[in-house]
């Protein structure tokens, strides 16, 4: 298996947003690459594939993103490195917010989308299913995910931390990240929530104590808000500096949190007096102290990943050997046990041969 892509580790938001592929582009990628899975999140876009080379995959990324030369941002993994990277991503070890829960859902959905489209093979199926199982094991056996950590949680914490009674305007509450943020806000007794809903939207959930207003009237409720959180999948800005500046009349500090990629909120709104803007990349710094507390659990998770990865490699190796099984059996039956043992000795390195001998001792 091979993998390549960009992430928050090596590409700023201004670059990553060019790789925010919709379902149609993800399907185009899978059609071009053959057996493949495409993962697109706020913090990464990655391709996992088995039927083609990395050069073709990289060229396809450049073409669909229109980003030009992406060499400095691209990371490429092959064979064991690609498998380990998939495990670390799925388990939240490679996330900006260490141990986040959201990435497991996103990987599962990316795999399910590819599987439903008939774009997976034995290696991808086995690798993704094992990685997902490993992530669940880590959640059970370590404390990595015991403390809720996600962009939604941090956004809710920042809003509630403003102090006093906080009026929050939530734009995009019907989306996955938006709904998760709203659910994190609901238990905060000092937070009063107004959510927007688009006309004819079937995804908006009505909660007790939450006021719902039309999306088109979002600017009408901006002045009374202490915090505005936006998390839509819209290709256009939900808030611009010109329109927001025209409606903010009350002199008070305001926090704007943008959880979208591409961004929902025009960056220049930070130039409005009293406005502080937090974007996706800023959340990494907010999560830094939390990550430090989780390092011990992360080390335990890495050990579990190594165990599960070793089992996966044995499954894949055995599957690749199956077409040769009958001929190998016939050849082995023509050899004496001693001849077979010496062939193993000559064909394996010392560590591998010692492992074979350990297995044979176990047969005594």
- In tens, the pLDDT along 16-32 reads 989 999 999 999 999 99
> How many domains does the structure of the chain reveal?
2
Distance in angstroms (rounded) separating the CA atoms of residues 220 and 342: 82
Both structure tokens of 23:
């379902």
Domain boundary among 240, 268, 285: 285
Would residue 117 count as lying in a domain?
yes
224/252 same-domain check: yes
Q: What is the pLDDT of residue 250?
A: 94
Would residue 341 count as lying in a domain?
no
196/159 same-domain check: yes
14/57 same-domain check: yes
Q: What is the pLDDT of residue 293?
A: 63
CB contact at 8 A, 99 and 149 = yes
Which residue is it, tokens 């990395």?
54
Work out the angle between the directed axes of helices 80-90 and 122-141 (0-180°, nearest 10). 40
156/135 same-domain check: no
Size of the chain, expressed as the number of residues it contains: 364
CB contact at 8 A, 35 and 51 = yes
CATH number of domain containing 91: 3.30.460.30
Low-confidence ranges of the chain (pLDDT < 50): none
Q: Per the residue annotation, which of 40, 42, 91, 227 is the catalytic one?
A: 42
207/175 same-domain check: yes
30/125 same-domain check: yes
Would residue 346 count as lying in a domain?
no
Would residue 215 count as lying in a domain?
yes
Q: What is the pLDDT of residue 200?
A: 64
129/196 same-domain check: no
Distance in angstroms (rounded) separating the CA atoms of residues 221 and 223: 6
CATH number of domain containing 168: 3.40.50.720
Q: What is the pLDDT of residue 42?
A: 86
> Is 42 one of the annotated active-site residues of the chain?
yes
CB contact at 8 A, 269 and 240 = yes
Would residue 317 count as lying in a domain?
no
Give the DSSP H or E segment for 197. strand 191-197
Domain boundary among 285, 316, 345: 285
Q: What is the pLDDT of residue 358?
A: 81
237/256 same-domain check: yes
Would residue 319 count as lying in a domain?
no
Distance in angstroms (rounded) separating the CA atoms of residues 4 and 48: 7
6/137 same-domain check: yes
273/217 same-domain check: yes
219/245 same-domain check: yes
Using alpha carbons, select from 53, 61, 68, 73 the residue that is nearest to residue 13.
73
Domain boundary among 89, 119, 141: 141
Domain that holds residue 46: 2-141
As beta bridge partners, residue 7 has 44
CA distances from 206 to 189, 197, 212, 236, 251 (A): 18, 10, 8, 25, 31
Number of helices and strands (H, E) in the chain? 15, 10
In this structure, are strands 2-7 and 44-49 parallel, antiparallel, or unpaired? antiparallel
């Amino acid at each position: 298996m091979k993998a390549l892509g960009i992430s928050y580790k090596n590409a700023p938001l201004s670059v990553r947003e060019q790789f925010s592929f919709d379902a149609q582009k993800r399907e185009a990628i899978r059609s071009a690459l053959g057996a493949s899975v495409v993962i697109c999140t706020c913090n990464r876009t990655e391709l996992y594939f088995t039927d083609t080379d990395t050069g073709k995959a990289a060229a396809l990324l450049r073409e669909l993103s229109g980003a030009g030369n992406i060499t400095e941002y691209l990371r490429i993994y092959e064979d064991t490195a690609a498998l380990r990277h998939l495990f670390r991503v799925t388990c939240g070890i490679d996330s900006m917010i260490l141990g986040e829960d959201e990435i497991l859902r996103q990987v599962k959905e990316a795999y399910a989308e590819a599987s439903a489209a008939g774009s997976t093979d034995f290696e991808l199926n086995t690798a993704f299913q094992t990685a997902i199982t490993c992530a669940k094991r880590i959640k059970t056996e370590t404390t990595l995910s015991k403390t809720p950590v996600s962009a939604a949680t941090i956004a809710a914490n920042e809003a509630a931390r403003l102090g006093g009674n906080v009026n929050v305007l939530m734009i995009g509450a019907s989306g996955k990240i938006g709904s998760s943020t709203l659910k994190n806000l609901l238990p905060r007794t000092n937070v009063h929530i107004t959510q927007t809903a688009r006309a004819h939207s079937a995804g908006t959930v009505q909660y007790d104590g939450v006021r719902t207003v039309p999306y088109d009237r979002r600017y009408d409720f901006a002045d009374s808000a202490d915090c505005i959180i936006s998390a839509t999948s819209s290709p256009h800005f939900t808030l611009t500096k010109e329109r927001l500046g025209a409606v903010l009349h009350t002199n008070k500090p305001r926090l704007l949190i943008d959880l979208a990629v591409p961004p929902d909120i025009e960056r220049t709104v930070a130039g409005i007096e009293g406005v502080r803007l937090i974007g996706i990349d800023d959340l990494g710094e907010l999560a830094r102290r939390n990550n430090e507390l989780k390092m011990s659990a992360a080390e335990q998770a890495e050990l579990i990943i190594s165990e599960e990865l070793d089992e996966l490699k044995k499954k894949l190796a055995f599957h690749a050997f199956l077409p040769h099984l009958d001929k190998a059996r016939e050849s082995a039956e023509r050899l004496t046990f001693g001849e077979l043992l010496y062939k193993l000795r000559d064909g394996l390195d010392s560590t591998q041969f010692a492992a074979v001998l350990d297995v044979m001792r176990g047969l005594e």
